[in-house]
Amino acid sequence: MWQTLGILTGVCVFSEILYQFYAYRFRRRATKAEEYTEVLFFPDQKVACIKHFISECESESCSFSHEENSLGKLFRYLHQAQNSIDVCVFVITCKDLADILIQALERGVRVRVITDCEQVDIPGSQIWRLRSKGVAVRTDDSSFFMHHKFVIIDNKKILNGSFNWTRQAITGNQENLLVTSDPKLINLYKDRFSTLWQQYKVKKDQ
């Protein structure tokens, strides 16, 4: 009888240890995921003040938003880049976002942009300005759309969703931009960016 009791106790202790071990691992994983995930929803009520979000706005009558909003957070994510920014976005007409890319390039960040060939010459397009400042831009060469809207920052963070870099997307449309540091997802997006970067090399490189 004592022997049976001993075995039962052993089994109980072992299952408890096993349970605690998996509970710990699950909690760790959940916390990790929470730390690095965010969703930016648009439209914002007002356009964010670029100066406020990347340095300091000294204007007392600034007409742009100093509230914590989605564009402001996007400014900050891009501005915090230290090594690389890989942009793969269908339409880029927002001057402030183009400015942040140019500033990043000027402080030594490698900036690469992939966009749709038919959006390069639309009114307000920032592509020629980016090119003239030295940003490497490549486009598809097809009547189908290069329709992605994602950015990889420092190979550590991706922002992906429906958000084109346009004024209409910022203050008009319903849009989302998922931000994550999930390494598996980052690798998938990095691979896709590299594939497209190579694919668009010959035809439309600057």
The smaller minimum CB distance to Zn ion, of residues 47 and 57, is found at 57
Q: Smallest distance from the beta carbon of 187 to Zn ion, in angstroms?
A: 38
Spatial CB neighbours of 129, under 8 Å, sequence gap ≥ 6 = 98, 102
Q: How far is the CB of 18 from Zn ion (least distance, A)?
A: 56
Tell me which of 154, 182, 190, 204 is the catalytic residue.
Answer: 154
Beta bridge partners of 180: 37, 158
Residues of this chain that interact with Zn ion (CB under 5 A) are 49, 52, 57, 62, 64
Burial class from Cβ neighbours inside 10 Å (0-12, 13-18, 19+) for residue 3 reads exposed
Active site residue 148: no
Q: Is 102 helix (H, G, I), strand (E, B) or coil?
A: helix
Residue 149 designated active-site: yes
Smallest distance, Zn ion to C-beta of residue 72, A? 10
* CB nearer Zn ion, residue 49 or residue 101: 49
Query: Which residue's CB is nearer to Zn ion, number 59 or number 132?
Result: 59
Catalytic residue list contains 154: yes
Query: Which of 52, 73, 148, 149 is flagged as catalytic?
Result: 149
Which active-site residues does the annotation give? Answer: 147, 149, 154
